[in-house]
């Protein structure tokens, strides 16, 4: 898998390889793989957890309710068109009934995400939620940390800046966390040289 991913020199060939992936049992239950939304190269890369029902049906990440929340963060908060940022999930297939992805499923999908990051060459990665944040920071098993201990700061890993924040579905359930999410987004905006558009 690592070799197949590394051999993909652009998004089109990587997308096609992901669509054929049978590295874990999620390949048997998916409608289709969910590769990415946005340009191949982007300054900002948002990384979610795994596709939900709407994403599995449409083949595009973050198109359901949490997608509307994410679009608001990008467009109203950061002042960027959603089409200008790249959005991917750590896992490319929907887990049945939206259960949490297993360690093995997450590990099996890692080469695809690593290759997406390499090709997109983003200035800033914004992992959304605990799973994506630990995953992107390379924290596994007993090294895993709570999101609370990872956010509100910039991490540097493999010469990339990483700004973990809340998952949009958490923000839908916990609107009072939006002001803390906004602090993270402002950190990312500072790295990108973007001026804040609004508070909260
Ligand atoms: N939640 C995610 O983490 N990703 C999606 O694409 C949709 C919901």
Q: Provide the CA 47 distance to its chain's centre, in angstroms.
A: 1
C-alpha span between 109 and 136 (Å, rounded)? 12
Mean pLDDT of 169-191: 98
| CATH number assigned to the domain comprising residue 142 | 3.40.470.10
Query: Ligand 1 pocket, 89 CB below 6 A?
Result: yes
Q: Give yes or no for residue 27 having a pLDDT over 80.
A: yes
Residue 197 is predicted with a pLDDT of 62
Q: Is residue 179 part of a domain?
A: yes
Residue 145 is predicted with a pLDDT of 98
C-alpha span between 59 and 133 (Å, rounded)? 23
Residue 146 Cα to ligand 1 middle (Å): 19
Residue 32 near residue 59, CB atoms below 8 Å:
yes
Mutate to test the pocket of ligand 1, among 65, 82, 89 (most ligand atoms within 8 A of CB): 89
Q: Give yes or no for residue 35 having a pLDDT over 50.
A: yes
* Per-residue model confidence as pLDDT tens digits over 142-159: 999 999 999 999 999 999
Residue 200 is predicted with a pLDDT of 47
Tell me the residue range of the domain where 156 lies.
2-192
Q: Is residue 198 part of a domain?
A: no
The ligand 1 atom at the shortest distance from the C-alpha of residue 90 is: 3
Question: CA dihedral defined by 100, 110, 133, 67, rounded to 10 degrees?
Answer: -70
Mean pLDDT of 91-112: 96
- Could you give the number of structural domains in the chain? 1
Q: Is residue 168 part of a domain?
A: yes
- Write down the pTM of the prediction: 0.96
Backbone phi, then psi, for 64, in 5-degree steps?
-90, -155
Residue 196 is predicted with a pLDDT of 73
Q: Is residue 199 part of a domain?
A: no
Q: Is residue 56 part of a domain?
A: yes
In which band, very low, low, confident or very high, does the pLDDT at 198 lie, cut at 50, 70 and 90?
low
Where is 131: in which H helix or E strand?
A: helix 130-136
Residue 200 near residue 182, CB atoms below 8 Å:
yes
Query: Ligand 1 pocket, 49 CB below 6 A?
Result: yes
- Report strand pairing: 86-89 vs 155-157: unpaired
Mean pLDDT of 80-89: 98
In which band, very low, low, confident or very high, does the pLDDT at 195 lie, cut at 50, 70 and 90?
confident
Residue 138 Cα to ligand 1 middle (Å): 20
Measured N-to-C along each axis, helices 103-120 and 11-19 cross at an angle, to the nearest 10 degrees, of: 160
The ligand 1 atom at the shortest distance from the C-alpha of residue 61 is: 6
Q: Please count the residues of the chain.
A: 200
N-to-C CA span, the chain: 42
Q: Is residue 152 part of a domain?
A: yes
Residue 45 near residue 74, CB atoms below 8 Å:
no
- Report strand pairing: 155-157 vs 160-162: antiparallel
Q: Is residue 200 part of a domain?
A: no
Residue 165 is predicted with a pLDDT of 98
Q: Is residue 197 part of a domain?
A: no
Residue 48 Cα to ligand 1 middle (Å): 5
* Per-residue model confidence as pLDDT tens digits over 46-80: 999 999 999 999 999 999 999 999 999 999 999 99
Query: Ligand 1 pocket, 61 CB below 6 A?
Result: yes
User: Which residues make beta-bridge pairs with 46?
Assistant: 87, 126
């Amino acid at each position: 898998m690592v070799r197949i991913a590394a051999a993909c020199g652009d998004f089109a060939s990587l997308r096609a390889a992901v669509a054929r992936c049978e590295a874990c049992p999620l390949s048997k239950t998916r409608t289709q793989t969910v590769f990415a939304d946005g340009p191949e190269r982007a300054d900002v890369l948002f990384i979610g957890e795994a596709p939900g029902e709407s994403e599995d049906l449409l083949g595009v990440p973050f198109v359901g309710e949490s997608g509307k929340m994410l679009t608001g963060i990008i467009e109203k908060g950061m002042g960027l068109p959603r089409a200008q940022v790249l959005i991917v999930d750590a896992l490319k297939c929907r887990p049945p009934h939206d259960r949490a992805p297993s360690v093995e499923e997450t590990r099996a999908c890692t080469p695809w995400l690593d290759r997406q990051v390499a090709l997109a060459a983003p200035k800033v990665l914004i992992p959304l939620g605990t799973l994506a944040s630990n995953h992107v920071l390379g924290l596994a098993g007993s090294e895993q940390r709570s999101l609370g201990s990872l956010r509100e700061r910039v991490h540097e890993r493999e010469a990339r800046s990483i700004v973990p924040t809340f998952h949009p579905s958490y923000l839908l359930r916990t609107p009072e966390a939006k002001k803390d999410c906004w602090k993270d987004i402002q950190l990312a905006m500072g790295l990108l040289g973007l001026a804040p558009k609004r508070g909260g």
